[in-house]
Amino acid sequence: MSEVTATPAGQKRTVHAVAQEKNGLSTQDLILIAVLLAAGAVLKLTVGSMLASFGMKPNFIIAMYCLAIILTRPKVGQAAIIGLIAGLICQLPMLNATPGLNIISEVLGALVCGLLVKVPMRIGGKADINPIVNTFISTVVSGGTFALMAIYINVVSNANSQTTFAAAVGAYALIVLGTATFNAILNQVLVPIMRKVLKK
């Protein structure tokens, strides 16, 4: 049974509802965010590189900042800052072949994630599908933004490019949708596990 607190008007709210109204991020939240972003970078360099050799291009950094936002439920502005930090991490030479683009794309992706995390998404009032829906949409926004900017720089504005606009869009669309699907499934699995661990 959920604990309750009484308001001045005599109304009752659950502790979960009170927790959702917290102001800002706690020290524990900041540590969790830092750990997840670092884990995302390490996973992209290791597991991501290994999977890339099989034609898969998962982006663990997007998955991890979405996971961090879903778990900590920051304010929208704070979510954008998390995306900015993720974008700056992506500027490391080993993590990014096109410097600069990730800063914009990750901020937008995190901003969308920060907005969607406030939206209740439950099936039958029990199963929470926010992680899978939220992560998928946020990854599409981030990846799509990156793809459009990369296509403009490398194809549209490059007279020497041998790649057609349609071919570039098709290739990036497959990568973005594949990455979004992978990230969404990963976070749907990780969120309930992480919540149980954090409660302990």
The pLDDT value recorded for residue 168 is 85
Domain count, the chain: 1
In the structure encoding, which two tokens stand for residue 72, read together? 């900590």
Please provide the average confidence, as pLDDT, over all residues in the chain: 84
Q: Which of 5-19, 126-140, 180-194 has the lowest mean pLDDT?
A: 5-19
How far apart, in whole angstroms, are the C-alpha atoms of residue 158 and residue 178?
27
The CATH number of the domain where 58 resides is what? 1.10.1760
The reply to whether 18 falls in a domain is no
Arithmetic mean of pLDDT, 167-171? 88
The reply to whether 177 falls in a domain is yes
The reply to whether 134 falls in a domain is yes
Confidence of residue 17 (pLDDT cuts 50, 70, 90): very low
pLDDT of 16 higher than 50: no
The reply to whether 112 falls in a domain is yes
Q: Which of 26-40, 94-108, 152-166, 186-200 has the lowest mean pLDDT?
A: 152-166
The reply to whether 133 falls in a domain is yes
In the structure encoding, which two tokens stand for residue 148, read together? 């459009």
Q: Percent of the chain scored above 70 by pLDDT? A: 80
On whether the pTM is more than 0.85, the answer is no
Report DSSP letters for 135-166, one per residue: HHHHHHHHHHHHHHHHHIIIIIS-TT--S-HH
How far apart, in whole angstroms, are the C-alpha atoms of residue 142 and residue 70?
16
3 or 159, which is more confident?
Answer: 159
Q: Any residues with CB less than 8 A from the CB of 40 and at least 6 apart, and which?
A: 60, 61, 62, 63, 64, 65, 86, 89
Arithmetic mean of pLDDT, 143-162? 80
Tell me if 116 sits within 8 A of 130, measured CB to CB.
Answer: yes
**Whole-number Cα distances in Å, 199 to 28, 48, 71, 123, 195:** 12, 30, 11, 23, 6
The reply to whether 3 falls in a domain is no
How far apart, in whole angstroms, are the C-alpha atoms of residue 6 and residue 132?
34
The identity of residue 158, as a single letter, is N
The pLDDT value recorded for residue 53 is 66
The pLDDT value recorded for residue 14 is 41
The pLDDT value recorded for residue 22 is 57
User: Domain of 29?
Assistant: 25-199
Arithmetic mean of pLDDT, 147-153? 88
Confidence of residue 4 (pLDDT cuts 50, 70, 90): very low
Tell me if 13 sits within 8 A of 7, measured CB to CB.
Answer: yes
Beta bridge partners of 4: 14
The reply to whether 96 falls in a domain is yes
pLDDT of 114 higher than 70: yes
The reply to whether 20 falls in a domain is no
How far apart, in whole angstroms, are the C-alpha atoms of residue 57 and residue 53?
9
Q: Which has the closest alpha carbon to 176: 149, 151, 200, 141?
A: 141
In the structure encoding, which two tokens stand for residue 155, read together? 């194809």
pLDDT of 192 higher than 90: yes
The pLDDT value recorded for residue 160 is 64
Q: Any residues with CB less than 8 A from the CB of 166 and at least 6 apart, and which?
A: none
